Amino acid sequence: MSLRTMARRAVASGTLGAVAAGSPTASGIGLAALLDGGNAFDAALAAALAETVVMPSKCGLAGDLVALYVTADHEEPVSVIALGSAPAGLYAAAAARGWQVPATGPLSVGVPGAPAGYARLGALGRMTRERLASPAVALARRGFPWSRLNVLLTRESLPTLTRYQPGGGRCFPAAGPLAEGEAVRMPGLAGVLERFVRDGPDLFAGGLGRRLADYVQEHGGVLDLDDLGAAEVIEERAHSVESERGRIWATNGPSYGIALTRTFDREHRIDRGAPTSPDAVTQALAVLARGGLHPAPAAEGTSTVSAADADGNAVVIVHSNSFPQYGSGLVLPGDDLVLANRAGRGFTFEPGHPNAPRPGRRPLTTLHAWALKDAAQSWVLGATPGGARQVPWNVQVIDRLTHPDLLDGPARLGDAVTAPKWEISERGVLREGAEIPPLGARSAHTLVRLGADLVSAAADPRWDTTAVAS
């Protein structure tokens, strides 16, 4: 199939709304919410909760999220940061280990921020949490087909998973790996979702939180029940910079949105090369790399959902268990709940460092989302998973979206997500079609556009990402 055909098929447009998600099932569930009278926030949250079931290695209620949204009532995008802070005992535990804290394992488990983030975004919709969570609950109870992506990510993380669960688990049974297309049921996770419907941001305040904390401590971690009440949402106007092709907005710190905008900032341009060059991106990342983020050669612990509606609402959710896959590698028995490792992945384990895991401090995170206005002054929002590769991939998509010589409107969305990508690695700059096979980057962009007459979504064709509209 030609890139032109792929670009056309990557875009869906309609007059009611559009959704793009990392799973075709999740995209369909998001569109159903729009057809039932919901708005973009309802569609995005319904799709995101479905992803916590069908993509358990990537995102979940024990993870965290960032989001960016616009509404008809907001002149500028709003940044949403829902990251849990450091457990109270982590700094002392790290010091006792000589500051040698691995990126996975029990000490890496931090405070989940996702329940508070999902609940806040849900409050901007029209539907109840019960309605939005019910498709995800049904998927978990009835079962869903295990995807090719799930097969790959489970295989890649099996050593970590079996180290902490030697008897196997729902996604990695002791009898052998799940096959592509095999039906998988997660009744425990269905129960967790039903508790979220009831408790919202207080999901871990009771018995579920006690089980989680006890399990982590049994394995040698320090997360305590008191820590689990510390997550809150930071919701404020997104920061922006003026680039050579217009203004670009992104989620605020501690997200890597601040690295993305740094590459485009016209007033503080990095001299080495164009703002979208590997040199410029490398320098922007280097500023935050001094925060000490662990390298992520295969960062697949994240997914994105984007949705827009005819009323002028658009939202991008980036939700994550962190890297490498299945977060910390610990999965809460009986609840099928993957425990994220944002603390181990995001903090800098050096005494006195500004990004050290002091109690109450939130870690740096590569998660970020962005927004811009295209040549027609229509809002375009987007994001991708990919760890530290998110910034270079997002830079390249923004470059295509704002290029003066390309087609305008929805067609440009498809071109932007399908165009060949490069990424920065320990081996230097790797390019699709050269060091990487064509379409071999593990990006998974979702984009939405609020046009004057049509609402559009676009989905990166490299994995299972799917765009739908009505």
Question: Cα(306)–Cα(44) distance, rounded to whole angstroms?
Answer: 6
State which H helix or E strand residue 430 sits in.
strand 428-431
Structural domains of the chain, ranges and CATH numbers in brackets: 3-469 (3.60.20.40)
**pLDDT above 50 for 152:** yes
pLDDT given for residue 297 in this prediction = 47
Tracing tokens 């926030």 back to the chain, one arrives at 41
The four Cα atoms 336, 388, 19, 154 give a dihedral, to 10 degrees, of -30
pLDDT tens digits, one per residue of 291-337: 544 444 445 679 999 999 999 999 999 999 987 789 999 999 999 99
pLDDT tens digits, one per residue of 163-174: 999 999 999 999
Out of 121-125, 293-297, 463-467, least confident range: 293-297
Kindly state the tokens that stand for 409. Answer: 């409107």
Question: Cα(207)–Cα(278) distance, rounded to whole angstroms?
Answer: 48
pLDDT given for residue 410 in this prediction = 85
Confidence class of residue 275 from pLDDT cuts 50, 70 and 90?
Answer: low
- The DSSP bridge partners found for residue 82 are 65
pLDDT given for residue 443 in this prediction = 92
Question: Cα(71)–Cα(371) distance, rounded to whole angstroms?
Answer: 12
- Per-residue buried b or exposed e for 317-345, using 16+ beta carbons within 10 Å of the residue's own CB: bbbbbbbbbbbbbbbbeebbbbbbbbbbb
pLDDT given for residue 294 in this prediction = 44
pLDDT tens digits, one per residue of 218-267: 999 999 999 998 688 999 999 999 998 899 999 999 999 999 999 998 77
State which H helix or E strand residue 213 sits in.
helix 207-218
Confidence class of residue 388 from pLDDT cuts 50, 70 and 90?
Answer: confident
- The DSSP bridge partners found for residue 236 are 79
C-alpha closest to that of 322 among 110, 33, 43, 31 = 110
Tell me whether residue 204 is exposed, middle or buried, using C-beta atoms within 10 angstroms of its C-beta: 0 to 12, 13 to 18, 19 or more.
Answer: buried
Kindly state the tokens that stand for 16. Answer: 């009611």
| Cβ-Cβ contacts under 8 Å for 142 (sequence gap 6 or more) | 185
What average pLDDT does this structure show over 435-449?
93
Kindly state the tokens that stand for 399. Answer: 């470059």
Question: Cα(127)–Cα(46) distance, rounded to whole angstroms?
Answer: 10
CB 445 within 8 A of CB 384: yes
3-state secondary structure of 436: strand
Residue 316 CA from chain centroid, whole number = 9
Polymer length of the chain: 470
pLDDT given for residue 283 in this prediction = 79
**pLDDT above 80 for 442:** yes
275 or 86, which is more confident: 86
0.75 surpassed by pTM: yes
**pLDDT above 50 for 272:** no
Q: What share of the chain has pLDDT > 90, as a percent?
A: 81
What average pLDDT does this structure show over 360-366?
92
Residue 322 corresponds to which amino acid? Answer: S
Out of 10-24, 101-115, 426-440, least confident range: 426-440
pLDDT given for residue 296 in this prediction = 46
Residue 6 corresponds to which amino acid? Answer: M
**pLDDT above 70 for 202:** yes
pLDDT given for residue 300 in this prediction = 67
**pLDDT above 80 for 179:** yes
Out of 5-14, 19-28, 458-467, least confident range: 5-14
DSSP 76: S
Tracing tokens 């341009």 back to the chain, one arrives at 269
pLDDT given for residue 268 in this prediction = 62
Q: What's the angle, vertex CA 136, arms to CA 46 and CA 149, rounded to 5? A: 95
What average pLDDT does this structure show over 45-50?
98
Question: Cα(93)–Cα(90) distance, rounded to whole angstroms?
Answer: 5
Backbone Cα Rg of the chain: 20
- The DSSP bridge partners found for residue 430 are 423
CB 295 within 8 A of CB 152: no
C-alpha closest to that of 346 among 77, 66, 38, 73 = 66
E strands, 30-179, in order: 64-70, 78-82, 144-145
**pLDDT above 70 for 271:** no
Confidence class of residue 192 from pLDDT cuts 50, 70 and 90?
Answer: very high
47 or 292, which is more confident: 47
